[in-house]
Amino acid sequence: MRIISYNVNGIRSAITKGFIDWLKTDPADIICVQETKAHKENVNHKLFEELGLDQYWYSAEKKGYSGVAVFCKQKPDLVQMGNGYMQSDAEGRVIRCDFGDITLINAYFPSGTSGDERQIYKYQWLQELLEYLELLKKERPKLIVCGDYNIAHREIDIHDPKGNKKSSGFLPEERAWMDAFLSKGFVDSFREINKDPHNYSWWSQRFPSVRLQNKGWRIDYINVTDPLRGAIIDAKIFPDVKHSDHCPVYLELKTS
């Protein structure tokens, strides 16, 4: 099972930058995207059909905002939109897909960068997600949780930890949530494979040179529960794929 997680920062924009051509290179069996900023009916979704991909869209009620989608070669046994929390579901933040005994969660975590109100909601959302996952894990122990977490976990995951210690996405409370999340039986798949610094998945668009200089943050993850730790074959980040201010992250799992 090959999985990509990718915040496309507007799927229509990504398509104009070559997203479909990249999908034609067969980067994965399952493509999870976040921040679609579109409803399915407002996108040329036949492009995905022509690639032989099933597609599942969960868009925000507000047009041009948030939203997640899953494109996959194999039809899931179950698809569930949302996690049952009203505001999260109104913002189109979570899709669940079951493939055999594996459950995949594609999630777009809120950002707190626009102010205190959204930062407060981010903490609420993180707690709600953890409750949702803990319940789900009892029924479905083999979980994959992928998406834009909007959190750089450790100093190794951000180019300037000292300068960003008061920045949303690297606040002590957010990093403590990641500690708690991983302590509850989740594994950072990328760090299982790669312990090296300077591996990032997002670069600020305010200063175009920062991507060239690789001054980024690692805020996109494909994490798995402990029963899948031994199934990890490979995990990578693809910084040279450039349809967005993020880049794709990749996980390959042995499933038999």
**Side-chain half-sphere of 163: how many Cα atoms within 13 Å?**
6
| Distance between first and last Cα of the chain | 10
| Domain chopping of the chain, boundaries | 2-253
User: φ and ψ at 56, to 5 degrees?
Assistant: -135, 120
Q: For 44, list phi and psi in degrees, rounded to 5.
A: -75, 75
What are the E-state strand segments in the chain?
2-7, 30-34, 54-58, 68-72, 78-81, 94-99, 102-108, 142-148, 186-188, 220-225, 232-237, 249-253
Q: State the catalytic residue, choosing from 21, 29, 148, 196.
A: 148
pTM of the model: 0.97
Beta bridge partners of 34: 7, 68
Q: What is the DSSP letter of 178?
A: H
pLDDT-based confidence at residue 207 (cuts at 50, 70, 90): confident
Q: Mark whether 148 is an active-site residue.
A: yes
pLDDT in tens, 100-140: 999 999 999 999 999 999 999 999 999 999 999 999 999 99
Q: How does the average pLDDT of the chain come out, rounded?
A: 97
- Per-residue DSSP letter, 147: E
**Superfamily classification of domain 2-253:** Endonuclease/exonuclease/phosphatase (3.60.10.10)
